[in-house]
Structure 1
């Protein structure tokens, strides 16, 4: 029996007693996103068998997306972010099976201690029309607008561009040396780097720009302007974030990849994000 099996077996009786009869889905994961315990409500909301949640097995065609249809960060990335920041995070999820949306769920992530170990407790609730829009707006590490607020700001920018005859630009910034810095110096230094870049971008861009944290190692900027290709905004973003940063006793350049997409507003949020991500990967 593995260490994981032992931990799960010891936890099961206490877990069953705690969550029996609750109408909220509950998942308990380790720092890698591995589900250690769950309940029937969570399995129903995630459109999975309870055994699949626990083993990590996912049927063909099953996916988790956000409200726009864009990809979600890996569960391990989300769990690690919540544990390092130590503050809750809320994310809207769309469960997709066979290319069709099956359910919309709010996932509330909380850092907890179970049997002396750091764990992540995820509370799952179905999304209704009365879900407060204030949930999950700020990234817990950097204090920047998080993914939920970014998508809302981008949608608003596209709407204004259509109605006013202006343009909107989305800039994505990938800190591609973050994994290397985490490996060499530890996650604490990596988080310091992200906070430094967040502060620089927040101070270096104008108040009219939305600066947000899009993913584990990605930032985003949404800008509205009357004309142009968006290249100037992307160049400004790269310049603001690209100066060397002190990591431990050394100064290192963060290693940025930047992409941007400019539109007149007649494009969906998902298509704008997808195009920017494709360009970033190139």
Structure 2
């Protein structure tokens, strides 16, 4: 098992599940347009169609995320991220043959605090802002709320040389917002409502065709003579490319001790 606290993730500039591949052994995370490919210890399956189920389960605030296209969303105001290796069906149910990735957000508290983070860069242009506000909603402190939001824009690392397609690829254009209300009348009981929305409206990744695995095997005739772009200069010819992901989640959590 690997566990990462939210503050450590922020300090390491960990923005999404993709960024956990380096520090986490035995896990591979990738994406293909609007789908994801997640494996733990080699177990999982490549997600090509939106209706397919993975061998690795993703849970957000205790809720199973069934659509693979939603699993690569950006991290927002998290308490921790857990990676559990090996079969986890006893505790987490279906589709956990390879393991589970558990994303746990920060919960509302009665204390008033807030924060924001701003990141900017060039080549390509980058802008990201995120923030949260938390505090009590009544005098007794039994009712509290928390709101967090994030906006990310990255112009894109790869230039598209065709005039009738997207100008840049490998970009980022996404927004997310989460609101929570927690009622805690006693130490033995609390109820929490969470509502969140995420939107990814980027152009998607660039694809380069460099050849075949065996130099003696030629490319298909339809590709012979076609421009294949340049990996070194990050230039490609693409007339169609997009990534459209919209996610809405609402859940009620009751806790009795």
TM-score (norm. length: structure 1):
0.27
Larger RCO, structures 1/2 (Cα 8 Å, 6+ apart): 1
Q: Please, what TM-score do these two structures have when normalized by structure 2?
A: 0.29
Structure with the larger helix share: 1
